[in-house]
Amino acid sequence: MSGVLVQVLQLILSLTILVVAHEAGHFLFAKLFGVRVERFYMFFNPWRSIVKMKKVNGKWKIKFFSRNTPFNDKPIEELDDNDWRKYPDNTEFGIGWLPLGGYCKIAGMVDESMDTKGLASEPKKWEYRGISTWKRLPIITGGVLVNFVLAILIFSGVLFHYGSVDVKFTDFTRGYEYSDIAKEAGFEDGDVPVEADGKPLDEYDTNAIRSLMKAQTVVVSRGEERHTISIPGDFGQRVVASGEQFISPILPFVIDSVLQNTPAAKAGLQKNDSLTNINGITTSSFKKIVDIMAENKGKNVTLHFMRDTTLMATVIKPDSMGKIGVTAKSFAEYYTFSRHEYGLAEALSNGATMGVKNLTGYVSDFRYVFGEDGMKNLGGFGSITQSFSKMWDWEWFWEMTALLSVILAFMNILPIPGLDGGHLMFLLYEMVTGKKPSQRVLEVSQMIGMILLLFLFFYANINDIFR
């Protein structure tokens, strides 16, 4: 199975878990307050469904590849006993054919389905619009709440089952390499950051990287000396606009395995060969060599490498993707990290901390979207897919799923019509003013929100194609 296919399968499984959990949050609170849930679907089902099931006349019925049930404009007592529409109290569960999410159709609510045929009459007690605002509040926020709680539980489960690797800035004794933007700010390859705005840097993680991007001054260890770097005010924005990782630990490029019938195999490369020079550029950096290979895809490059104690050279032609067909030795071959095991209580506590840190970190990063080049860095399914491992790694899969759950919770609470936050915005307006927005206002705003979301969806995925 190819690495890309493994990544795609992980993405589908992850999003399926998160979407079902999100919609289950809405479902459970709706049922708690006696509101009918007409349909509960994984994936969308315009016109047809792959499979659907419902309790009809006391028994569960199932249909495959059937058309959607038309709106019932007849009195219920006139319907046949086997007509699914005769049992509106029972939820229709199903799987759609369009894998872009899922939905929970709550009676009496204008949502992404834009099904408003039953909203012309007076509100019923079993409809969303027929219950008090304080009951509607948890129904609206239930999906976001479940996603955030799920993220905490997954983080906790990963810590309890796998433990954690505690990585510190000082663990990377060879230092770090920096992007051109970072070098313009004053960083040099080999520097080890030790302080950001006077605060010591300990753990090497995404939160520490954020603190470096937002800092005004950074102290680095450079050889035997320490240097203070004044960071430009627009540094974070420029890093995001570049789309590059501005700091990464130095990893030598030493071959761990050579795949058969690849450019590396044809060039005679072997396991344990250490790359030292490419096209006249002296470097052993894995990152730099990969970048140069990508710039020369389909072209011959001259490669120097050490085999045992002998310096050797060869000519190699990266494929159309800039790959040569080798795996390199990992950080664990060169650096020593400590591991930490967790009991259940400690795992739950630290899982909650990880959930909060990831949420606040993502909220902080979101401000870059509104910068001059922020929109250019929006990513779609392609970017998310590449975040998963090309080999099935359950630990990384669950960590990514937890992170995506946090992101899904945050994105859904944004005050955009079409999202949970849009419904919440109108609900808060009603709670403050005591006046309900008109049905027409809700419908129009929902339509505008859906158009905006579809635009962002296509824009982000087109970005992936041309990035």
CB-CB contact of 93 with 102 (8 Å): no
Indicate whether 8 pLDDT > 80: yes
- The verdict on residue 380 lying in a domain is yes
* 124 plus 40 within the same structural domain: yes
The least confident of 19-33, 37-51, 75-89 is: 75-89
* 322 plus 273 within the same structural domain: yes
* 48 plus 118 within the same structural domain: yes
| Average pLDDT of span 266-295 | 91
Q: Which two tokens stand for residue 29?
A: 């609170």
Indicate whether 385 pLDDT > 60: yes
- The verdict on residue 111 lying in a domain is yes
| Average pLDDT of span 203-226 | 90
Report how far residue 220's alpha carbon sits from residue 195's, in angstroms, rounded to the nearest whole number: 7
CB under 8 Å to 229, separation ≥6 — which residues? 185, 186, 187, 217, 218, 219, 220
pLDDT of residue 467: 58
- The verdict on residue 137 lying in a domain is no
* 55 plus 124 within the same structural domain: yes
Indicate whether 104 pLDDT > 80: yes
Closest CA to 197 of 229, 157, 153: 229
- The verdict on residue 444 lying in a domain is no
Indicate whether 378 pLDDT > 70: no
- pLDDT-derived band at 144 (thresholds 50, 70, 90) equals very high
* Average pLDDT taken over every residue of the chain: 87
Number of domains in the chain: 4
- 222, 249, 276 — which closes off a domain? 249
Query: Exposed, middle or buried, 368 (CB in 10 Å: 0-12/13-18/19+)?
Result: middle
pLDDT of residue 444: 82
- pLDDT-derived band at 79 (thresholds 50, 70, 90) equals confident
pLDDT: which is higher, 464 or 277: 277
Looking at the chain, the whole-number percentage of residues with pLDDT higher than 70 is 92
- The verdict on residue 464 lying in a domain is no
- The verdict on residue 424 lying in a domain is no
Q: Which two tokens stand for residue 101?
A: 């999410």
pLDDT of residue 88: 87
User: What sections of 200-319 are H helices per DSSP?
Assistant: 206-214, 235-242, 263-266, 286-295
Amino acid letter, 162: Y
- The verdict on residue 292 lying in a domain is yes
* 196 plus 222 within the same structural domain: yes
Report how far residue 384's alpha carbon sits from residue 13's, in angstroms, rounded to the nearest whole number: 13
For 213, the domain range is: 169-249
Indicate whether 310 pLDDT > 80: yes
Report how far residue 442's alpha carbon sits from residue 115's, in angstroms, rounded to the nearest whole number: 12
pLDDT of residue 372: 55
Q: What is the CATH number of the domain that holds 241?
A: 2.30.42
pLDDT of residue 356: 94
Report how far residue 138's alpha carbon sits from residue 18's, in angstroms, rounded to the nearest whole number: 18
Looking at the chain, the whole-number percentage of residues with pLDDT higher than 90 is 48
pLDDT of residue 196: 93
User: What sections of 296-418 are H helices per DSSP?
Assistant: 344-366, 381-386, 394-412
Indicate whether 118 pLDDT > 60: no
pLDDT of residue 376: 63
**Greatest distance between any 2 Cα atoms in the chain:** 90
* 123 plus 183 within the same structural domain: no
130: region left, alpha or beta (phi > 0 left; psi from -120 to 50 alpha): alpha
pLDDT of residue 193: 94
Q: Which two tokens stand for residue 324?
A: 């040569």
pLDDT of residue 365: 76
* 60 plus 89 within the same structural domain: yes
The number of beta carbons lying within 10 Å of the beta carbon of residue 323 is 16
* 345 plus 282 within the same structural domain: no
In DSSP terms, 227 is beta-bridged to 220
How do strand 37-44 and strand 92-95 relate by DSSP bridges?
A: parallel
pLDDT of residue 272: 93
* 378 plus 394 within the same structural domain: yes
- 192, 221, 249 — which closes off a domain? 249
pLDDT tens for 351-377 read 999 999 999 888 877 776 665 555 666
Angle formed at CA 59 by CA 55 and CA 61, multiple of 5 degrees: 60
pTM over the 0.85 mark: no
pLDDT of residue 119: 61
* 175 plus 126 within the same structural domain: no
* 219 plus 240 within the same structural domain: yes
Q: Which two tokens stand for residue 269?
A: 């490369």
Indicate whether 405 pLDDT > 60: yes
* 162 plus 175 within the same structural domain: no
E-only strand ranges, 68-208: 92-95, 98-106, 164-166, 176-178, 192-196, 199-200
Q: How many CA atoms lie within 13 A of 133 on its CB side?
A: 15
- Residue 77 DSSP SS3: helix
Q: Which two tokens stand for residue 90?
A: 């029972």
Q: What is the CATH number of the domain that holds 308?
A: 2.30.42.10
- The verdict on residue 146 lying in a domain is no
The number of beta carbons lying within 10 Å of the beta carbon of residue 255 is 20
Report how far residue 324's alpha carbon sits from residue 327's, in angstroms, rounded to the nearest whole number: 9
- 249, 274, 289 — which closes off a domain? 249
pLDDT of residue 68: 86
